[in-house]
Structure 1
Amino acid sequence: MSERSPAPGALALVESLVNTLDIESGADSFDTADGRARFGLTEGDLPAARELRESLRAVLLAHAGHPPHREVTPLGQLLAGAPLVVAVDEQDGSALLTPADRGPLPSRVAAAVAEALVAGTWTRLKACESVTCHWAYYDRSPAGRGRWCSMQVCGARAKMRRYRAKD
C-alpha cells in the first residue's frame, strides 16, 4: 500500500476505486456499508463494481508494463454504456466531458478517464508490480517509470528478493 499522495483531479476516484481491495490481506471495503456508501453503491451494484475495479486494475498494470494477473472484461466494454456529453461554460467557453448520468459508477469513471486523457495524466496512474499488492498509485517520477506503490515496502521487498537470488 502506498504512502504517496492521491492522484490528481478525477483520477483520485479511479485510484480509490481500485484500492478498495487489499490483495495482500484480502480486505475489501465493498464488504462494509461505509465502503459501499463512499461510491454510492448498493449490494446489488457490487458484482458490476468489482468487475469494473478489476478491469481498471488490469489497465493500470498495463500502464506499468505488466500483463494483468487474470482475465478480465475489457474496460472499454464496461464503459461503453456510460455516455459522456460535452458541457460548455457559457461565460468562458471552456468545455469538458461529463457523464450524461452522474449517478452510476461507470459514468463517473468514464468522465474521470476522459478528463485524465485530456490532461495527459491517464498513463501515469499505475498498479504496483508486486503480485501480492497491485495497489493503484499515481507515478510522479520525472521519467514516469515508477514500479512500486511504495519504495519502502514493495520496492524494498523486490530488491531484497533480487539480492538474495544472487547467492
Structure 2
Amino acid sequence: MSERSAAPGALALVESLVNTVDLESGSDALDTAEGRARFGLAQHEVEQARELRESLRATLLAHAGHPPHRAVTPLGRLLAGAPLVVTVDERDGTAALAPADRGPLVSRVAAAVADALVEGTWARLKACEAATCHWAYYDRSPAGRGRWCSMQVCGARAKMRRYRAK
C-alpha cells in the first residue's frame, strides 16, 4: 500500500506483522503458508498472531491520535507474558533485550517494542487514519504528525472528501 520505507531496526517486524492484512480487499497473508513462514508460525498459532496484530494496530492508531478500530485485547496484556532476557555483546559490550525463547512471535514483538522504546522510535510507528486502510507506517516527518500511510493514496482521498464536502 505505502511507498514509505520500512520502519527502522526491530520495528520492521511489528510493521510487517500489522501489514499482513489488507483491510480494503480482506486478503490476509497469514492465510498462506508463505505468509506464516515469514513469521515462523505454525497453523495453530495463527489466531494468536491475529490477536497480536490487531492489538498492535490499535496501539499504532493511538500513536496517531485515533481511537481503536475495534475492541481488542490490550497490547500490554499480550506482551506481559513474553519472557525477555538481557543479552550483552562480548565484542563491544552493548546490551539489549531479547526474547528468552526465539520461537514465539509475541516474544519477538516484545523485544522489538523494548528496543524501540530504548531508541525512542516506538511512538513514531503509527497506523493510517483511513478506516479502510489502517496500514502501519513509520512517521519520519520532522514534527511526527503524519496521518496517512501515503499522501498519494489515503491522504489524497481524505483531502478530496473534505473538498467535496465543502
What TM-score bracket applies, with the shorter chain setting the length? over 0.9
Amino acid at match of 2:101: D
User: Residue 94 in 1 paired to residue 94 in 2?
Assistant: yes
Q: Deviations over 1:88-140 (max 9, x none)?
A: 22332211101111111000000000000000000000000000000000000
Amino acid at match of 2:8: P
User: Secondary structure of the equivalent of 1:71?
Assistant: coil
User: Secondary structure of the equivalent of 2:41?
Assistant: coil
The percent of aligned pairs where both chains have the same amino acid is 83
User: Secondary structure of the equivalent of 2:57?
Assistant: helix
Q: How many residues are paired up?
A: 166
TM alignment of 1:146-161, pairs within 5 A: 146-161=146-161
Q: How far 1:81 moved relative to its partner?
A: 1.3
User: Residue 28 in 1 paired to residue 28 in 2?
Assistant: yes
TM alignment of 1:9-158, pairs within 5 A: 9-158=9-158
User: Secondary structure of the equivalent of 2:115?
Assistant: helix
Q: How far 1:42 moved relative to its partner?
A: 1.0
User: Secondary structure of the equivalent of 1:40?
Assistant: coil
Q: How far 1:75 moved relative to its partner?
A: 0.5
User: Secondary structure of the equivalent of 1:108?
Assistant: helix
Q: How far 1:70 moved relative to its partner?
A: 0.6
Amino acid at match of 1:25: S
Give the gaps of 5 or more residues in structure 1.
none
4+ runs deviating over 6 angstroms? none
Amino acid at match of 1:64: A
- Alpha-carbon RMSD across the aligned residues, in angstroms, is 0.7
